[in-house]
């Protein structure tokens, strides 16, 4: 039993020293080389499919989607990001709405490229947007459409468009 009493202080000293050195190593990595690595990692992340992180660390494709998700998070709105729907005449074509709000059975689309400066890209985008909206109408789905200008005052715009889409006010 005496060996246990002698061993405990030694173990505590060892653990304290280990924690001290681990903290020092983390501090070194957070400056200098660590910063370079994290900048490289951030650039790689931006080059990937999803490029922006929300307040809760969810990866989304654009700054606008980040704004929308952060609003949903701040207001405890449950959402699904890019759920799969089947559209087309025989439901053979995959569609991915930006958001689905399951508690309200409402989809939300952010049409960010409607005002794209490149006319050919914009025209192609608007054509896809019209097809998608036609699919929503055919399936009798409720959709909130958001454009870039709507982001300035997203909360008020969202609530107004929610009421238009559902016929009822968004619950507080």
Q: Residue 87: which pLDDT band, with cuts at 50, 70 and 90?
A: confident
**Directed axis angle between helix 33-47 and helix 2-30, to 10°?**
60
- For residue 85, give every residue at least 6 positions away whose Cβ sits within 8 Å of its Cβ, in sequence order, or none: 94, 95, 96, 97, 135, 139, 141
The confidence score (pLDDT) of residue 42 equals 58
HEC profile of 3-55: HHHHHHHHHHHHHHHHHHHHHHHHHHHHCCHHHHHHHHHHHHHHHCCCCEECC
Whole-number percent of the chain with pLDDT over 70: 69
pTM of the model: 0.68
Kindly state the average pLDDT of the residues 72-100. Answer: 88
Ordered by start, the domain boundaries in the chain are 2-47, 52-166
pLDDT score of 39 more than 70 = no
Q: Which two tokens stand for residue 12?
A: 């505590």
Q: Rounded to a whole number, what is the distance in angstroms from the first to the last CA of the chain?
A: 64
| Average pLDDT for 146-156 | 95
Over range 89-114, report the average pLDDT. Answer: 89
Give the model's pLDDT for residue 34: 55
Q: 52-166 has which fold?
A: Endonuclease; Chain A (3.40.960)
What's the mean per-residue pLDDT of the chain? 82
Is pLDDT of 119 > 80? no
3-state secondary structure of 154: helix
DSSP conformational letter for 170: P
């Amino acid at each position: 039993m005496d060996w246990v009493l002698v061993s405990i202080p030694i173990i505590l000293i060892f653990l304290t020293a280990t924690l001290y050195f681990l903290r020092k190593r983390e501090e070194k990595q957070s400056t200098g080389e660590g910063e370079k690595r994290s900048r490289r990692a951030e650039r790689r992340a931006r080059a990937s499919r999803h490029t922006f992180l929300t307040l809760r660390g969810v990866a989304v494709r654009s700054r606008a989607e980040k704004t929308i998700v952060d609003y949903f998070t701040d207001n405890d709105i449950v959402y699904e990001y890019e759920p799969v729907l089947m559209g087309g005449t025989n439901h053979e074509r995959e569609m991915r709405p930006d958001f689905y709000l399951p508690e309200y059975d409402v989809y939300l689309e952010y049409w960010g490229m409607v005002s794209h400066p490149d006319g050919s890209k914009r025209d192609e985008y608007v054509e896809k947007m019209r097809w998608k909206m036609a699919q929503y109408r055919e399936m009798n789905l409720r959709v909130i459409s958001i454009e870039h200008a709507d982001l300035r005052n997203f909360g008020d715009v969202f609530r107004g468009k929610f009421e238009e889409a559902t016929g009822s006010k968004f619950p507080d």
